[in-house]
Structure 1
């Protein structure tokens, strides 16, 4: 079983990577650093929340685990 702290650290690191990628995609698509950055921040906030919830739900599911 995973601790809540480990889930949070994993989620934060994953979202930092996603933030960088989304900022780059937003910049390429819009040509604006401000718009690309705003898109990335909104995506990161939503993604972090959803990923943490997703991880906690799966932590409670026993299916597919070895004893």
Structure 2
């Protein structure tokens, strides 16, 4: 079982990468760094909360897990 603290750190790591990628894509599509950063920033909270719930849900599902001795 993974700790909540580990899940939160993974969320921050994942979202950091996401902000960079979303900013680049936003800039390429709009030509505006301000718009790109606004677009990327607006998704952080929703995506972070969704990721934490997704991880916690999958921790409860035993399918695909192996037993460690």
Q: When the two structures are superposed, what TM-score results if normalisation uses the length of structure 2?
A: 0.90
CA RMSD, Structure 1 to Structure 2 (Å): 0.9
4+ long deviations beyond 3 Å = none
In structure 1, the gaps of 5 or more residues are none
The alignment covers a number of residue pairs equal to 67
Residue 46 (structure 1) aligned with residue 46 (structure 2): yes
Q: After superposition, where does 1:1-67 map in structure 2 within 5 Å? A: 1-67=1-67
In structure 2, the gaps of 5 or more residues are none
